[in-house]
Structures are given as structure tokens and as C-alpha cells.
Amino acid sequence: MAIAQKSTATNRYRAEPSVMTALRTPRLLTREVLAGLVVAMALIPEAIAFSIIAGVDPRVGLFSSFVMAVTIAFVGGRPAMITAATGAVALVIAPVARDYGMDYFIATVMLAGVFQIVLSLIGVAKLMRFIPRSVMVGFVNALAILIFSAQLPQLLDVPFMVYPLVAAGLIITIVMPRITKVIPAPLVAIVVLTVATVVIAINVPTIGDQGELPQSLPELLLPNIPLSWETFTIVAPYALGMALVGILESLMTAKFVDEITDTHSNKTRETWGQGVANVMSGLFGGMGGCAMIGQTMINVKASGARTRISTFLAGVFLLVLVLGLGDVLAVVPMAALVAVMIIVSYLTFDWHSIRLSTLKRMPKSETTVMVATVTVIVLTHNLAIGVVVGVIVAMVAFARRVAHLATVERSLSVDEPVPTAFYTVTGALFFASSNDLMTQFEYVDDPDRIVIDMSNSHIWDASTVATLDAITYKYERHGKRVVIEGLNEASHNLHARLAGNLGGGH
């Protein structure tokens, strides 16, 4: 039985197709290679932009994206997911570079990686089960909005020719998959628009305008900082924030890819892998990062990649493009990448969730959770904060809903030797539902003996025990005796341990 269970667990995380299958199948291998090339092109302007957000040289973001993509291809738990420098992480650690310098910045990245490894070992990935579907939908929809809004700077105050180029890119990306899926449509759009701008000499913004590309390979280095408690207190808060944001964003992205590909991924391994990738990024002077859902959508949804090959090659192609083909890469029009990202935004958004028919059927609490998640993410541009707020709103909505499921039924018995009032309590009793319990009893009108039957209920917390103590005490003040019966084993043990010891007013 144990062997069978172990085999089932192994099969659950087995990638389909596997890396070996893709390597032996020319069609699959071509798809993975071209997907990696498209992602690499899309990574370059984003890595440069995120470097600017973090207040560091563009080379830091580019090298970080290369190191993390290559590393996560081997150690990550979700095949085909792209990990690189991200805006969420850049926002968290930007103050370190500004206030303390690059050595402390790199130390923060490495310590964040260590924190992620430790968190993976204590099972933090299992907390993903507590993120409800409505938060997931809000996360995805907000992400689509952020991806689209991130393209607006490339569409405002730009030469007029940018607009027909973007339109042409959209048409190619939409029509191409209907003709053939051998070559990813985003790659075709990028190549066609680049050739057109060069041949016709169209003057529009290009990748080269976004920042200086590096000319040499990244070098291994260690931060030159004192190894003291003071140093730790400086970098630890930022490192922990980066670790938590990175884990949350990566696991949410992994869960989303699981749904798209109808496969399972090892979330604990992914958390551990993110930590290793961040440590490696720091060792090569990078800014760290986490999973990038936008680039992952290009890889998985737009290009059809399914294996670690595409992730690995995205990193390799990124380095080759910026070092070996920097002059060629520099002339790629930003309009081509904007068109690709607009399509990715459209494909990412869950349009079914905002249909009128869906909204009518969906409970208002679920819709509220989704809207709250979207609103916070869009306003803060921070996916982690939005998810946390969404989960809190979902918890409150759930508590309010469950609080009204506990019921109390009263009956009087004249057959007993002593007149007795019977109360039957049904439902889950916890801090929210037990507060209403006090008002369900007739303290003055009841006879001298009261029996509270708990056979159809369950005590979940100390608040309920305190409420039962208060009910008993209130009856005793009227000279009446209370008997609580029918408790299941768990409820009985909790009640026996806490009853009379919670300072309920005796």
C-alpha cells in the first residue's frame, strides 16, 4: 500500500510531455525552442524596466533574469513556468539599494533566498489550499489589467506609426495560430514588424531605447559587508518581505498554470527552487525575482510550451541576445512586444467571471472577494498585498455566512420527574456563531432543569466554551441546573479542559 501511494504521488507531479519526450520529438522540441526565444525577447524590456524600479543598473535585472531562468529550469517544481526579475520584488527591495548601496542590496537578495528555502522546509506551500477560487479569479483578472496598463506608456506620446504597427502585430498574433501552430505567433509578429521597420526605415521606439545592454558575462561575487547582527537587522526585514512576496506570486502562478495545463506541480519544490534561484542570482550580482505570470502566459498559453526546456532556453537566449546579438535586438520595435503583451492580457483575463449570467448566479460574497482582490492589486500594483486582502475578505465573508448556520430548538417535557426544558443545538460553533447562542435561551421562563443537547453540533474554539459557561452561570443565578450532553469526543475534550477556567464571570 505504501509503495502504491508513493507511486501515485510521483505520477501526480510527472510532467507531460517529459523533457526526454520533447527532446526525441522534433515537433515538440521546435515548439519549446521557439517559445523560449519569444519569452527571452519579452523579458529584456521588462528586466530593464524592473531594474529602474529597483534603482539599479539595467544589467542587474538582465543578469538576474538569465541566472534565475536557467536555475529554476533544474530546481523548480512547475515545468514551463518562467522565473526572472519582477516588479513586485523590485518594489520591496528598492529602498535597500537607495539607502545602503549595492552590497547590502545583493545580501538582501541572497538572504531572501535562504528564507524561502527555510519556509519551504517548514511546509509554507501547503497554505495555498486556503486561497479560495474567488481570490484566484481576482488575481488573474488584476494581473491581466496590470499587463495591459503596463503597455500604456508605449502607446502614449509616441510616433503615429506605432499604432498601425501594434494593430498589425495584433492581427498576426490572432490569425497566425489558425494557419499553423508550428511557429509561435508572437515570434512571427516580432520578426515581421522588425523587418518592416528596418526595411521601410520607420522611426519608432525600440528595445535599444529602453536602456544600455550589457557587454560581458556576469561574474561571481560576494557582497562586501560586515557579518554582524546590525547588518542582519538592516537586510532581514526587506529579505523576509521579498521572500514572502516571491513565494506568494510564484505559487499563485504555478496554481494558475496547473489549471491551464490540467497538470499538478510540486509547490514545496517550487518554493525551495525559488530560494535557490534567488541565492544564485545574488551570487552573480542579480536583483532576484520570482515567477512572472505575464511571461509564463506567453510561454504556456501563447506559445504552447510545456517543459523545462523552454524555461532553460529563455534564460540562454536572453544572454545570447543581449551579448551576441545586441545590435540586432536593439532594433526590435517596442510595438511588437506591446502587441504580444496585449494578446497575453486578453488571454489571461477570465471573461466568464464578469458575464452578467455568471454574476447573477454567483453569491454576492464571492463577487465581493473577487472585486476586492482586483481593486487592491490594481491600486497597489502589488499582487501579494491584493491576495492577502482577498483572503481576509473571503474569511470574513465565510465567517458571516457560517455564523447563521447554527440553530437552537427548544421543547418542554412534562413526562420527566422534574419539568425540563430541552435545547437541541445544531451546527458548527465558533467565535462568530457562538456569540448568537446566548440570546437563544429562555432564562426566566424555563423550568428548574435544562438539558442542552449538543449531538448535532461541534465546538471549535474557546469562545464557544466561554459562551456555554456564561449560559450555565446565567441559569444558576436563577437557581436552575444545566446539563450539557451529547458532545462528540473532540468537543468533550475541549470543553472538559476549558470549562470554568476562562474567567467567565463566576
486: its cell numbers: 451529547
Ordered alpha helix ranges (H), 16-77: 19-24, 26-54, 58-75
Give the pLDDT score at 12: 59
Which tens digits make up the pLDDT trace of 457-497? 999 999 999 999 999 999 999 999 999 999 999 999 999 99
Candidates 84, 90, 95; CA nearest to 52 is 90
Q: What is d(CA 285, CA 66) in angstroms, rounded to the nearest whole number?
A: 12
318: its cell numbers: 536572453
Which tens digits make up the pLDDT trace of 339-395? 888 887 888 788 999 999 888 888 898 999 999 999 998 898 777 788 889 999 998
Q: What is d(CA 257, CA 235) in angstroms, rounded to the nearest whole number?
A: 32
Secondary structure of residue 133 in the 3-state scheme: helix
The model's confidence at residue 190, banded by pLDDT at 50, 70 and 90, is confident
Q: What is d(CA 292, CA 47) in angstroms, rounded to the nearest whole number?
A: 11
- Cα dihedral value 427, 428, 432, 435, nearest 10: 60
188: its cell numbers: 512571427
Cis, peptide link before residue 218, omega less than 30° from 0: no
Candidates 355, 320, 382; CA nearest to 62 is 320
Which tens digits make up the pLDDT trace of 98-155? 899 999 999 999 999 999 999 999 988 888 778 888 998 898 898 788 878 888 888 9
Which tens digits make up the pLDDT trace of 61-114? 889 999 999 999 999 889 999 999 987 788 788 889 889 999 999 999 999 999
